């Protein structure tokens, strides 16, 4: 809903018209689940209620998630079940769990939209209320987040707060127009994203003139396209994609790509368990999209965290976009990036004869544009210098080319391959490569 609703857990909201009572009324919609939580009986036991995915579904409608890879014949999946006899909910004094006071019943904040009496007082009713045509928030908050996704900032910059403490929309009519369009066209996310992408505003150049910089340093008026750093996942996925390593398989169990040795082991209690030791995946599983990377919440993948991936500890509406020395170290020294550079060099040599064309190819793969003459010359000089160093054995070509599990087959000059891989390695480190726009 784009509100700081949790403020009202301990007291009435200090700025927005949300009372503590309303907080617990909304809470009570969800306090009616007969889930047992973690049950005695050890790991692997699924507490009730759950539904079962059968053999037929595994191979039928759910085949895309590849659960056939699982050894289990029938897979239990936990579900939320509405209780028949409603569990009473109470206002908790100052939000403290063992201090219940007045009993409350499922209801929604009046200041947003009173709960229609014809709706059932359960989660179904709440869902209907969220998508009611007079609910002022749902569609606006949603399209604002899509806008944020496309432009870095929402039309309401505080995408997490549409309350009195939040920002005003820079373009209120546009926000309303998009919200209504989204609602009337069936809440179709793909469609609205495409609509935004095809707009003239989205397709502008990112070039910043002195004049624009002074008039609108934050680019709130969108007279230019924003320049955004790619997210942690996209930086890795892009390198996999352009080097041809990417495994595009959909669904299935998580995988464990390269990670520095010893970081799980250093923090585990030593009692064993499936996450005591990091066992790196092999073969194609090394190159799946970062979406499929195994995520240990107490020790998340460091290369992802360095690029501001969400820690999964708190709900994150908007990620940070930082610029730090540790990011430079990851891009320079992560074996995944070096392996991708090697593969990029190989592909360039497969498809182009001349060194200049090979470099142009790699540059365009990484930045989506052709290098200009000056850039080509700089990169060409760099390549020549590297080639000389490889030949003089100032660079250990075999060592460098052995980084990463992928084995290149076929006959390549190791000198040229190493020199071109080092050139690609530089290109993957450019600010432009890890930025959009």
Partner 1 sequence: MSEKKIIEERSLILNRRAFLGKTALGVGGVALASLLGANLFRKDKNGILTKDDSPNGVKGILNSLHHPAKIKRVIYLFQSGGPSQLELFDHKPLLNKRRGEDLPESIRNGQRLTGMTAGQDKFPLVGSQFKFNKYGKNGTEISELLPYTAKMVDDLCIIKSMYTEAINHDPAVTFFQTGSQQPGRPSIGSWLSYGLGSENENLPAFTVLLSRGTGRPNGQPLYTRLWGNGFLHSLHQGVQFRAAKDPVLYLNDPKGITKEVKREMLDNIAALNDKHYQDNGDPEIKSRIAQYEMAYRMQTSVPNVMDTAKEPDYIYEMYGPEAKIPGTYAANCLLARRLAEQDVRFIQLYHMGWDQHDNLPGAIAKQAKDVDQASAALVADLKQRGLLEDTLVIWGGEFGRTNYSQGLLTETNYGRDHHPRSFTMWMAGGGIKPGMVYGETDDFGYNIVKDPVHVHDFQATMLHLLGIDHEKLTYKYQGRRFRLTDVEGHIVKDILT
Binding to partner 1 in span 197-226, by CB under 8 A = 206-210, 213-221, 226
Q: What is the DSSP string of 96-148?
A: -TT-EEEEE-S---TTT-PPPTTS-SSHHHHHHHHT-TT-SSHHHHHHHHHHH
Least distance in angstroms from the C-beta of 311 to partner 1: 6
Least distance in angstroms from the C-beta of 7 to partner 1: 7
Which residues share a beta bridge with 89?
104
Site for partner 1 in 294-333 (CB under 8 A): 297-300, 302-303, 305-306, 308, 311, 313-314, 317-318, 320-330, 332-333
Stretch that binds partner 1, among 106-114, 139-147, 244-252, 255-263 (CB under 8 A): 255-263
Q: Is 196 in the site for partner 1 (CB under 8 A)?
A: no
Instruction: Tell me which of 68, 99, 261, 413 binds partner 1, using CB under 8 A.
Output: 261
Q: Which is nearer to partner 1, 80 or 329 (CB)?
A: 329
Least distance in angstroms from the C-beta of 113 to partner 1: 21
Stretch that binds partner 1, among 23-31, 66-74, 115-123, 427-435 (CB under 8 A): 427-435
Q: Which is nearer to partner 1, 75 or 208 (CB)?
A: 208
Q: CA-CA distance, 254 to 290, in Å (whole number)?
A: 9
Q: What is the DSSP string of 314-332?
A: S--SS------HHHHHHHH
Q: CA-CA distance, 95 to 9, in Å (whole number)?
A: 5
Q: Is 160 in the site for partner 1 (CB under 8 A)?
A: yes
Site for partner 1 in 3-32 (CB under 8 A): 4, 7
Q: Is 425 in the site for partner 1 (CB under 8 A)?
A: yes
Which letter does DSSP use for residue 198 in this model?
T
Q: Is 157 in the site for partner 1 (CB under 8 A)?
A: yes
Alpha carbon distances (Å) from 193 to 146, 150, 172, 289, 318: 7, 8, 18, 21, 18
Least distance in angstroms from the C-beta of 312 to partner 1: 9
Q: Is 227 in the site for partner 1 (CB under 8 A)?
A: yes
Least distance in angstroms from the C-beta of 329 to partner 1: 4
DSSP H or E stretch at residue 306: helix 302-306
Q: Is 60 in the site for partner 1 (CB under 8 A)?
A: no
Sign of the dihedral defined by the CA atoms of residues 284, 287, 288, 292, in that order: positive
Stretch that binds partner 1, among 64-72, 120-128, 287-295, 418-426 (CB under 8 A): 418-426
CB 220 within 8 Å of CB 170: yes
SS3 content of the chain, % helix, strand, coil (to 5): 45, 5, 50
CB 15 within 8 Å of CB 164: yes
CB 7 within 8 Å of CB 13: yes
Least distance in angstroms from the C-beta of 65 to partner 1: 29
CB 343 within 8 Å of CB 248: no
Site for partner 1 in 27-56 (CB under 8 A): none
CB 282 within 8 Å of CB 406: no
Q: Which is nearer to partner 1, 180 or 430 (CB)?
A: 430
Least distance in angstroms from the C-beta of 308 to partner 1: 6
Q: Which two tokens stand for residue 19?
A: 């009372």
Residue with tokens 């498809």: 351
Q: Is 356 in the site for partner 1 (CB under 8 A)?
A: no
Burial of 339: CB neighbours in 10 Å, binned 0-12, 13-18, 19+: buried
Q: Is 235 in the site for partner 1 (CB under 8 A)?
A: no
Q: Which is nearer to partner 1, 63 or 368 (CB)?
A: 368
At residue 95's C-alpha, the angle toward residues 91 and 100, to 5°, is: 40
Q: Is 238 in the site for partner 1 (CB under 8 A)?
A: no
Q: Which is nearer to partner 1, 17 or 116 (CB)?
A: 17
Q: Is 156 in the site for partner 1 (CB under 8 A)?
A: no
Instruction: Tell me which of 17, 120, 172, 251 binds partner 1, using CB under 8 A.
Output: 172
**β 50-53/435-436 pair status:** unpaired
Q: Is 163 in the site for partner 1 (CB under 8 A)?
A: yes
Q: Which is nearer to partner 1, 114 or 273 (CB)?
A: 273
Q: Which is nearer to partner 1, 88 or 396 (CB)?
A: 396
Instruction: Tell me which of 53, 156, 179, 338 binds partner 1, using CB under 8 A.
Output: 338
Burial of 89: CB neighbours in 10 Å, binned 0-12, 13-18, 19+: buried
308 contacts: CB under 8 Å, gap ≥ 6: 231, 232, 319, 320, 321, 322
Least distance in angstroms from the C-beta of 370 to partner 1: 13
Phi-psi category of residue 94: left, alpha or beta, with phi > 0 → left and psi -120 to 50 → alpha: left
Site for partner 1 in 378-417 (CB under 8 A): 378-379, 382, 385-386, 389, 394-403
């Amino acid at each position: 809903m784009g509100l700081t609703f949790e403020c009202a857990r301990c007291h009435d909201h200090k700025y927005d018209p949300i009372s503590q009572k309303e907080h617990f009324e909304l809470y009570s919609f969800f306090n009616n689940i007969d889930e047992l939580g973690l049950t005695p009986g050890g790991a692997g036991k699924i507490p009730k209620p759950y539904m079962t995915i059968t053999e037929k579904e595994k191979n039928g409608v759910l085949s895309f998630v590849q659960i056939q890879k699982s050894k289990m014949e029938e897979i239990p999946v936990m579900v939320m079940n509405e209780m028949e006899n409603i569990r009473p909910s109470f206002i908790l004094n100052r939000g403290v769990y063992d201090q219940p006071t007045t009993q409350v019943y499922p209801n929604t904040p009046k200041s947003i939209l009173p709960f229609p009496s014809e709706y059932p007082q359960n989660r179904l009713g709440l869902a209907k209320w969220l998508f009611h045509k007079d609910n002022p928030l749902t569609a606006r908050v949603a399209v604002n987040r899509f806008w944020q996704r496309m432009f870095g900032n929402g039309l309401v910059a505080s995408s997490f707060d549409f309350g009195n403490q939040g920002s005003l929309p820079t373009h209120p009519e546009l926000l309303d127009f998009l919200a209504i369009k989204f609602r009337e066209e069936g809440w179709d996310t793909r469609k609205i994203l495409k609509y935004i992408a095809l707009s003239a505003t989205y397709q502008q150049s990112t070039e910043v003139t002195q004049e624009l910089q002074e008039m609108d340093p934050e680019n709130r008026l969108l007279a230019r396209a924003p320049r955004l750093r790619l997210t942690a996942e996209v930086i890795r996925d892009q390198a996999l994609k352009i080097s041809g390593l990417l495994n595009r398989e959909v669904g299935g169990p998580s995988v464990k790509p390269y990670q520095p040795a010893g970081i799980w082991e250093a923090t585990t209690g030593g009692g064993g368990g499936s996450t005591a030791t990091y066992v790196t995946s092999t073969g194609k599983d090394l190159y799946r999209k970062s979406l499929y990377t195994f995520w240990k919440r107490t020790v998340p993948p460091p290369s992802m965290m360095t690029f501001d991936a969400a820690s999964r500890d708190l709900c994150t509406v908007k990620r940070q976009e930082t610029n730090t020395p540790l990011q430079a170290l990851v891009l320079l020294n992560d074996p995944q990036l070096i392996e991708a550079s090697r593969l990029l060099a190989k592909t360039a040599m497969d498809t182009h004869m001349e060194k200049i064309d090979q470099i142009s190819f790699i540059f365009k793969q990484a930045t989506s544009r052709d290098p200009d003459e000056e850039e080509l010359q700089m990169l060409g000089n760099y390549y020549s210098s590297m080639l000389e160093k490889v030949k003089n054995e100032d660079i250990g070509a075999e060592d460098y080319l052995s980084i990463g599990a992928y084995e290149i087959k076929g006959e390549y000059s190791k000198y040229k391959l190493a020199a071109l891989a080092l050139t690609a390695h530089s290109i993957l480190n450019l600010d432009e490569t890890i930025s959009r726009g």
